[in-house]
Chain A
Amino acid sequence: MMLAQETEVVTPNIEWSLIWPLIILSIGAVLLVTITSLAPKTRTNAFPAWFTAACGIGAASFLPFMYRRVLDEGPSKVIADALVIDAFTIFITGVICAVVVLVALLFDSYVSREGLAGPEWYVLMLLSAAGGVLLAAADDLIVTFLGLEILSIAVYVLAALHLRREASQEAGFKYFILGALSSAIFLYGIALIYGSTGTTRISDIGRLLDRSNPAGLVPAQDASMLLLGVALLLIGFGFKVSAAPFHVWTPDVYEGSPSPVVAFMASAVKVAGFAGLLRVLVIGLGDLANDWRPLLLAMTILTLLLGSFLAVVQTNVKRMMAYSSIAHAGFMLVGTYVAGDFDIEEAINGGTSVLFYLFAYSILVVGTFATITVMGRRGDDAHDIDDYRGLSRQQPVLAACLAVLLFAQAGVPFTSGFFAKFRVIAAAAGSEAYLLAAVAMLSAAVSAFLYLRLVVSVYMADGDDEEEAPLPADVDVPPVAMLVIGIATVTTLVFGILPDLGGNFLREAASSLLIG
């Protein structure tokens, strides 16, 4: 009905104060290119890293003010209602900014070690992050798609950016081809949904499909189109968050891509993907939950089992972590499934559990891949599990941090990883999704093995057989990388002991999806 009124072109009124994070991230990227071209010296020193980190912090610094405003006045829509600024958007933006800061610092030591210094790493990451924020805030499927593409295209290039490694080229190429395919599928899904509902606005779709609104019922002949559209959207997002059976690209791409880029992929890209998925599924298609939930259930179970079982048999640490990230995605899908519950309380529990999982996992995985980056040594090639033997003797602090991060991934109590898993499973049990809860527990039990295996490898050959534990002396831990690992470790522990820190914010973010 609103569409009918807006026949003439109206320039949207933009409320700038609410989109500062987006602006800072994208303008920051442009500025960085400009500065580094004008002052060539800055291309190779640490300037781009600190500049990018500053952009991340700057973007995040607006979030508290925005949150205050959301609390006072409720969520607001900006740019012709295409973006919605609510607690959910703010939360996701915060996580992405944190990742940007950490990964920027990580890039610095990586590119100088590999002799690949240049601003392009940072510029691409900033752009990608902007895309992620856009995706999280989008209230229009077109903008969702826009965000998805901005997010992805930069990452395709990042994956291929280690110019001297063929594996990196190959990873970028694979990721690109398959990503393009999934984008096409996604776009087709949008078209079908538009065709059946007549709108691309997510909140409008939600209103149209509201079961309590008899006038909003989709005509029967359009329902098949609508459901097909839902399925295709699910596939598109499934690809981005590496849910089985659309996970096939993940191990190859993770293995081949530069390690710090994988840190970004496994955290920010996944966070943004889940943000979009939650928005579309819960707000737009929440009332169709009975239709998409069985599909999601199958995908989730497959993801949980494949991820954990296949991770156990890997010997390459990056590949292992790739499968482990698939298993983690499975846990997040469990929470997403619960967020589709018609009981609003259970749904909020589910949403909260996903958001906590996203946050906890992002920090964890950045820390883990920061360690992997350091351990990869020059050439980024030493990723066999045996390359970690005896690390504890040479780098006791690094080894201890890695152990904490791995324990957290395994879900050991007093780490944030434990609560992430615990909340998801508790939410599933609460909404009577017992099968999912049981499969999730099985997956947790199986995958614990691989983390412990790596920990044992790290602490192995310590002490008696001095000669038997040859650790190449060239594991060099740059202070900045150590800072990143330290921040990740401390955060993991703090949220393991005080998991309710910021709990209200989290709950607010989840409810803003469900209550509006």
Chain B
Amino acid sequence: MRVTMKLISATAMAAALLANPAMAQDDVRIALVVKALGIGFFDAAAKGAEEAAAELGNVELIYTGPTDTTAEGQIEVINSLIAQQVDAIAISSNDTDALVPALQKAMERGITVISWDSGVAPAGRQMHLNPSSNPLIGNMIVKLAADHLPDGGDVAVLSATSTSTNQNIWIEEMTKVLPEYPGINVVGTVYGDDLADKSYREATGLMQTYPDLKAIIAPTSVGIVAAAQAVVDAGKVGQVNVTGLGLPSEMAGAIESGASQSFAIWNPIDLGYSATMLAYELSQNGAVAEAGAEIPMGRMGTLTLDENMEGAMADPFVYDASNIEEFKSIF
């Protein structure tokens, strides 16, 4: 038995050694670090990053991330990337502040660090690429609800976790533009923690607490799907419209059932593409991240940085019954 165990552990070790990527030192190695592997949105972003890598030619893309959405998992990934001496890290973070020390260590070793999608505090990155501008998203999510409520009504927000950086900013921006939508009354914000079962329960709770609820705005891909299912199960299709941000492939069923009239998302392929292009520009072409800088990002035009070293890529795109068939197979 002991021999067997030794054999097994030796084999495992050998496998681990072999698994290390053969290092082609000539290539620029850009790591695309995501919140967690296995999320459709990030897989689509990786597709775009591959496209950018192919366009640039001499780029080796490393698509990586933890298996669950924790800051701890991402810190481990970052440390391993520092050990591998990559040229650039482009990260969508699980925590604004917790990743700063690890990312600072990376920058001290000469690694270009940018954040995209979900940002890191300015101390932990050179610049941040927003998929869209936060005010525009905040406006879009309430507009999606308002467009189907000509007479106004009660709407509620179903978010991810209460500490989720991007969710909180969007909700804040949404609140700012609310006066432009008379009759739209936001009755509350609940948190589904990006878990299907908790989001479902929270959505059910909303419909019980506010019997006149007309729309649920879920700016999170897990939440919007779970809320749509909850609306179907509660028999409230047509009464409660689920909208927000989601992926076409995941929302196709909800559009079909009528639980969701429309939803929006930017193009994650473009996002991964732009993040890779920007990381390359900063790392190899001497572009400097400073206020007012205009950095080219291939087919997506140029990105203008503000005083927080942040820039917006493009407007979110609305999906509904008219175009869902076309996009559901893409991402």
Q: Is the pairing of A and B real?
A: no
Residues of B within 8 A of A (CB): none
A residues touching B (Cβ–Cβ < 8 Å)?
Answer: none
